[in-house]
Amino acid sequence: MRLTIFGASGRTGAELVRQALERGDDVTVVVRRPASFDPRVIVRVVPDFADTAALREAIDGADAVLSAIGPRSGKDAPVAAPATRAILAAHPSRIVVISAAPVAPPPRDDSFISRRIAIPLVERALRPIYDDLREMEAALAASDSAWTAFRPPRLTNGKATGRYRTRVGSSVPRSFLVSRADLAAAMLNSLRRPDTERTAVGVAG
């Protein structure tokens, strides 16, 4: 596939690039500042994401756009929503992004501790981050693109296990961790899963 990846300089973005190349995909990355990547990667430097023409050129011909852009802390937010709105303005046909499990209420089959204690506490502590991600998901829902928003719990730097779980339309219950490598794999694999289009997808280790 021909893929355009945003946020490729981050840890999850780097996993997306690595795994896409392993799959034999053609990879273009979009960055705000020049950076070094695998020589097989096409690098597009777009300093200002308000430059819709430059973004449209970067995603032209791509089968899908994947974005690992998101706030690292509450002080960074909003990041995901503005970036995603800018990408959507370039009209990608398929886009996959990273959201977070606490963005929506936990599933009914989750544990009592998760539903009543853990997730509400995390949501309150990191409200600016989750508000940013909710705005991002709202922008996706209002777009004409075939979108998928992955909602992982806490991310780790562990290796890819291939044993991750997904749930379309809801977070995965009774789950607290997933590796960035498994998240990247789930995002790439969703490109061949029509059931993941125009919906959120829970993912967990």
Could you state, in order of their start, the residue ranges of all structural domains in the chain?
2-204
Asked whether residue 201 carries a pLDDT value surpassing 80, the answer given is: yes
Instruction: Give the model confidence (pLDDT) of 13-37 as tens digits.
Output: 999 999 999 999 999 999 999 999 9
Q: What's domain 2-204's superfamily in CATH?
A: NAD(P)-binding Rossmann-like Domain (3.40.50.720)
* Assessment of whether the complete model's pTM goes beyond 0.75: yes
Instruction: Give the model confidence (pLDDT) of 57-82 as tens digits.
Output: 999 999 999 999 998 766 777 999 99
Give counts: helices (H), strands (E), the chain: 7, 10
Asked whether residue 147 carries a pLDDT value surpassing 70, the answer given is: yes
